[in-house]
Amino acid sequence: MGDLRTMMAAFPTGVGIVAAVGADDRPWGMTCTSIASVALDPPCLLVCLRRGSPTLTAILEHGGFALNLLRADAQAAAELFASGAPDRFQRVRWTMNPGAEGPHLEDVAHSTADCRLLHQTTIGDHTVVYGQVTRINERGDVRPLMYGLREFAQWPASVLLSRGI
């Protein structure tokens, strides 16, 4: 039998930072590539987070989260939030406007979805978190950061040009 990690590394995906504020009002966040749209009515998405992560704890305490989809030039932020550095929120600009479900990373995200926790289920070492999207903020630069083959990448220039991006 082959290795699931190796197989999934060959499946390119977008990159996001899932962020929430814990019961102590401290921001938590982590890089996430396990992201999917679930339904349009009601609008719902899912993220898969490592069981026991402080970000997951904050989501469960707060009852919501923000999914920040990263721009093509945001590799440094993706690496920072994957590193577990305790000062990650001191090293990036973030906002928490009224109605936000978690920190918005406006300098590095092309879009942010605020989500209310609908359901969670634990499978093995991860928890699948379902969120109902309550608001989406788009910032214009829609060139997404991609991850595959254990490397960050951008869409090929030919694809961007054909779409006028």
> Which residues, 6 or more positions from 94, have their beta carbon under 8 angstroms from its beta carbon?
19, 27, 103, 104, 105, 106
Give the architecture-level CATH label for domain 4-162. Roll (2.30)
Q: Where are the domains of the chain?
A: 4-162
pLDDT at 49: 97
pLDDT at 76: 97
Other Cβ atoms within 10 Å of 53 Cβ, number: 16
| Alpha carbons 103 and 144: distance in angstroms, whole number | 19
Express each pLDDT in 36-78 by its tens digit.
999 999 999 999 999 999 999 999 999 999 999 999 999 999 9
* Ordered mean pLDDT values, 10 residues apiece, the chain (165 residues): 78 93 95 95 96 96 97 96 95 95 96 97 96 94 87 78 68
Helices (H), the chain: 4-9, 54-62, 75-83, 157-162
pLDDT at 84: 87
Q: Which tokens in the block code for residue 155?
A: 């869409």
Entry pTM: 0.92
Rg (CA), the chain: 15
